[in-house]
Amino acid sequence: MKSVAGRPAAILLTILVVAALSGVTRPAAAQSQAELRRENERLQAKVEDLEREIERLRKSNQDLEQALRTARQSGSRPAPAPPKPEKVSIDESVPSASPRALARAMTEDYATTTKDAERGDTGDDPKRIAYLRTVDRWSQRMNREHRTPIEWHVRVIEGAQRLGGGYVIRLQAVDPETDVQLGDPFDAFLSTTVAGRLSQRLGGAGDDVFILKGTLVPAVRVNPDRAEKGPFDNPPLVGAYAEFRLGVTVQTMLPKPEPEKEEKAGTGGAQPRP
């Protein structure tokens, strides 16, 4: 009887245990499935976003390829970016401010002087002869008007070379603040005395900037055989039959002071000794 009576109790206990375990595992399983479902939805949304981005890139690539094909067919190229304007700290409306300021002033003056003149034909054409006389008078006026004192910041391009009773040196004018090159290099002439004082500093080309004080000596001359610029344009042609070379007679040429030295010099007065 005990064994028979105990079986229903054991069976009932087993059912209760199974029911309890079932009550624990079912919510956990349901919760795990919900998390998996949400994770699947999140991944699916991410995949869809990536697919849309891929489609956008594909369309952009197609547009670019079409633009390149159109450019090749028309033979056109993208316009280059315009050059950045050079910054200068000097007033180049003054002809003696720099080599290129002088060249611009001469070119404009030549155009004004010859605008109503006819160059005529070659040989003994009276119009050509009259034109050459006009250019000759203009060149003499330019050489006279633009011979003036200057103060330029320069760099040495070629070291001093002996020339007659003095020396010649090749220089490049630069802006005193922005270091922009202000036209073509030019020749400067030094006396033996000045060259002797600068011999150690002017041995060859370098990065040092010098302050040059001297006299601007323009050398415009008439060349009846040269009406147009050649492939090298040397010497530079201002206009038909008018060649231009620039020279400078040097009085002093000193290294540009460093900013620290300039500040100390600007304070004035002698500093007390320690």
Spell out the SS3 assignment of 180-193: CECCCCEEEEEEHH
Lowest pLDDT segment from 12-26, 100-114, 156-170, 239-253: 12-26
Indicate the range of 9-23, 32-46, 157-171 predicted with least confidence: 9-23
Cis peptide before 185 (omega within 30 of 0): no
3-state secondary structure of 34: helix
Q: What is the pLDDT of residues 195-252, one digit of tens each?
A: 888 776 665 656 789 999 999 999 999 999 999 988 888 899 999 999 999 999 999 9
Quick check: 134 pLDDT over 70?
A: yes
Position 174 scores a pLDDT of 97
Say if CB 172 and CB 232 are below 8 A apart: no
The pLDDT value recorded for residue 269 is 46
Specify the pLDDT at position 233.
Answer: 85
Res. 2: pLDDT tops 70: no
For residue 100, give every residue at least 6 positions away whose Cβ sits within 8 Å of its Cβ, in sequence order, or none.
92, 182, 183, 184
Beta-carbon count within 10 A of 212 CB: 20
The per-residue pLDDT for 165 is 87
Structure tokens at 125: 């054409």
Helices in the chain by DSSP H: which ranges? 2-74, 99-114, 126-145, 192-198, 259-267
Q: Which residues contact 101 (CB under 8 A, 6 or more apart)?
A: 92, 93, 94, 95, 182, 183
Which of the pair, 58 or 93, is modelled with greater confidence? Answer: 93
Q: Return the minimum-mean-pLDDT range out of 10-19, 76-85, 148-157, 206-215.
A: 10-19
Which pLDDT band, with edges at 50, 70 and 90, does 6 fall under? very low
Both structure tokens of 21 = 């375990």
Residue 154: is its pLDDT beyond 50? yes
Q: What is the CA radius of gyration of the chain?
A: 44
Residues 57-79 as b or e (16 or more Cβ within 10 Å = b): eeeeeeeeeeeeeeeeeeeeeee
Do 183 and 228 contact (CB within 8 A), yes or no? no
pLDDT in tens, 24-76: 445 555 567 877 777 777 777 666 767 777 777 777 777 777 777 766 666 55
Residue-wise pLDDT for 103-129, tens only, equals 999 999 999 999 999 988 877 889 999
pTM, full prediction = 0.62
Predicted local confidence at residue 84, as pLDDT? 63
Closest to 194 (Cα-Cα) out of 218, 173, 208, 215: 215
- Label residue 9 by pLDDT band (50, 70, 90): very low
- Looking at residue 122, its pLDDT comes to 77
